[in-house]
A = this chain, B = another copy of it.
Amino acid sequence: MYHHKQIVNTLKERGYRITPQRELIVQIFSQIEKHQSVEEIYDSLQKITTAINLATVYRTLELLWREGFAQRNDLSDGRVFFAPPIHGTHIHLVCRKCNQVIDADAESVLALDAEFVDKYNFKADLDHISIFGVCEGCDQNEPDLKEDVE
């Protein structure tokens, strides 16, 4: 977890300009405990000042994500959530039938992580991915292909 000063300083070092809007967004954002939608984050900001445009919030969160200071969660229905980086694996198993989300963790992601670095020199954000599939309940209801229903 980063302190908001730390984020701001790093952004500056990387050549981004530090505007009052960005400082405030970073400050609010770094206090977030769970994943929040852009709208929710925008609402929190509105309570402090109305001088920040919604588009700026979108752009700043995108920036924080690109620069590695935000986790980003895309749900299947297009909704996007952001949160500060959380230590430890945090996998979302999203059922494409019932939209249930299971918070999972798995040892094997470590091997996967290593393999991506090995083969492709790619540093994957494997600690907060969403993976689609079918959950236990929905799988039982699903007849096999070409099999008769009832």
Seen from chain A, the residues whose Cβ lies within 8 Å of a Cβ on chain B are: 6, 9-10, 13-16, 65-66, 68, 72, 74, 76, 78, 80, 93, 95-97, 102, 104, 106-109, 111-112, 114-116, 119-126, 129, 131-136, 139, 142-143, 145-149
**Are the C-beta atoms of A146 and B72 separated by less than 8 Å?**
no
Out of B15, B78, B97, B122, name the residue touching A149 (CB < 8 Å). B15
Tell which of A13, A107, A109, A135 has the most Cβ of chain B within 10 Å.
A13
Q: Which residue of B lies closest to A135 (CB)?
A: B122
Task: For the complex, give the distance between the alpha carbons of A131 and B112 in Å.
Answer: 11
**Are the C-beta atoms of A72 and B132 separated by less than 8 Å?**
yes
Contacts beyond the supplied A6-B146, A95-B122: 4 A-B pairs with Cβ under 8 Å: A66-B96, A104-B120, A108-B111, A123-B134
**Are the C-beta atoms of B112 and A109 separated by less than 8 Å?**
yes
**Are the C-beta atoms of B133 and A122 separated by less than 8 Å?**
yes
Separation in Å of the A132 CB from the closest CB of chain B? 5
**Are the C-beta atoms of A149 and B96 separated by less than 8 Å?**
no
Task: For the complex, give the distance between the alpha carbons of A125 and B95 in Å.
Answer: 10
Contacts of A142 in B (CB 8 A): 14, 68
Out of B16, B109, B124, B143, name the residue touching A133 (CB < 8 Å). B124
